[in-house]
Chain A
């Protein structure tokens, strides 16, 4: 007998039905029969079947009762109810209580029953594949978690050692480096680390649950400015905050968004600009916050504006290529918290981003 045959258990208290079923279907399927629900349960302990067909009207336990009893222990086999009556109540009850795939009228039409069995088996296989896929995905998810954790540690830790060595070398003046190679090493390491941090940020954004807490935009933006100021001390930051009401939002994602946008505003300044500026304006309303980030930097080519939020897109015309992931993360983070972003830019004159973020303060009360 072939291993991959469809295995069917048929339960019916009328023995001649069992025999007839066997006679008609034994060539196509591997058939097991039982003359009562009790006997059927016993059989199921030793044999894994794909499909169970049960007659509704049996003494002691009806087909529906039987299906209802076994559905928790044996959720996998597909259930078909066989009934002499087309009693709607029975059928509704069967479908609701016993998780039944289909019902077939008695006496059965051989062709129809073949069809039903074949559909049921397809369903069985589809469910099985789905289960396997879920297990597989869970495993991959878990591995991804561990991978990111080790990236954040194992990949960064030697880089941090190198930076430590560079710091030490400067401190004790033990390395003669008239050509500034150590500085070059440092800038490469910082770039690599920046990229690793972006990847971790992206991952965190896509996986971390959204959490709402009170946000004070003034202190949040002051922190951002303090962090970026050293990168270009010539830049004049202007902060305009109008926050008359409380704002609740996801702190992690909002700071990711602001950090990336401010970082760009600081990074893409014109080299010959006498008064480099970054203006940050926040307006908080009961249902949303709007934030404008404006710079007088190099601007973005109009033909590139449509692409800047794509992963790994880098604008051609700049001498400071980025990782091509920052604005993508901004967009993804905004998607997570239901925000929007708009950009206006004139090449050579500057860029303005406008973002809106829903205020979750409203939703709470």
Chain B
């Protein structure tokens, strides 16, 4: 169990089944108590925008799918790059994709906002490790 009491995980994926899967995986493995699921990048952006004026932004891990209709993962990253630094420093983005495309993988690696790219199917072990690495210094 990861010991950050107010940690929240935001899931962004157009695939409803993956949303359910990832949510179950997180609660089952007690990685985070709060899981917020968004089936589109724009809905997630809207929610995050509403958070900007919060007095305190809780530590957040965003699991972001790459391939999505309308706004894909990379477009989400572009929009998120314009958020206030306070918000960005509290939100840690992990991309989750089944893509084997070199272009996608290279773009993910090159993006400073992305902590890591995890492959689907998302494994409990990998997710735990990644979240652990993010909050190692806490």
Contact = CB atoms under 8 A, between A and B. Distances in A.
B67 interface: yes
Nearest to A189: B121
B124 A160 contact: no
Interface in A28-82: none
Interface string A151-185: 01100110111011101100110000000000000
Tell me whether chain A's interface is mostly helix, strand or loop, or mixed.
Answer: helix
Interface residues of A, number: 19
B15 A204 contact: no
B122 A153 contact: no
Contacts, number: 57
A161 B15 contact: yes
A157 B28 contact: no
Contact of B120 (A152, A160, A197): A160
B101 interface: yes
B102 interface: yes
Contact of B21 (A149, A164, A197): A164
Contacts of B119: 160
A152 B123 CA distance: 20
A156 B98 contact: yes
Contacts of B98: 153, 156-157, 159-160
B100 A165 contact: no
Q: How large is the interface on B (under 10, 10 to 19, 20 to 34, 35 or more residues)?
A: 20 to 34
B15 A157 contact: yes
Contacts of A167: 25, 121, 123-124
Nearest to B14: A157
A159 B119 CA distance: 12
B33 interface: no
B99 interface: yes
A200 interface: yes
B67 A157 contact: yes
B84 to A, nearest CB: 33
Contact of B101 (A149, A157, A172): A149
Nearest to A151: B100
A159 B21 CA distance: 13
A208 B21 CA distance: 35
B120 A171 contact: no
B99 A161 contact: no
Contacts of B21: 161, 164-165, 168
A66 B25 CA distance: 76
A164 B120 contact: yes
B101 A171 contact: no
A344 B4 CA distance: 58
Given A152-B99, A156-B98, A168-B25, A161 B67 contact: no
Contact of A161 (B18, B97, B102): B18
Contacts of A165: 17, 21
Interface in B52-106: 67, 97-102
Nearest to B67: A153
B24 interface: yes
A165 B122 CA distance: 10
Contacts of B123: 167
A200 B103 CA distance: 13
A152 B24 contact: no
A160 B99 CA distance: 10
A164 B28 contact: no
A208 B106 CA distance: 15
A164 B124 contact: no
Contacts of A163: 120-121
Nearest to B65: A157
A153 B97 CA distance: 9
Contacts of B101: 149, 152-153
Interface string B5-40: 000000000010110011011001100000000000
Interface string A230-247: 000000000000000000
Contacts of A197: 100
Nearest to A163: B121
20 contacts: A152-B99, A152-B100, A153-B67, A153-B99, A157-B15, A160-B98, A161-B17, A163-B121, A164-B17, A164-B21, A165-B21, A167-B124, A168-B21, A168-B28, A171-B25, A171-B28, A171-B29, A171-B124, A197-B100, A208-B102
In the A-B complex, the 4 residue pairs with the smallest Cβ-Cβ separation, listed nearest first, are A164-B121, A160-B120, A163-B121, A160-B98
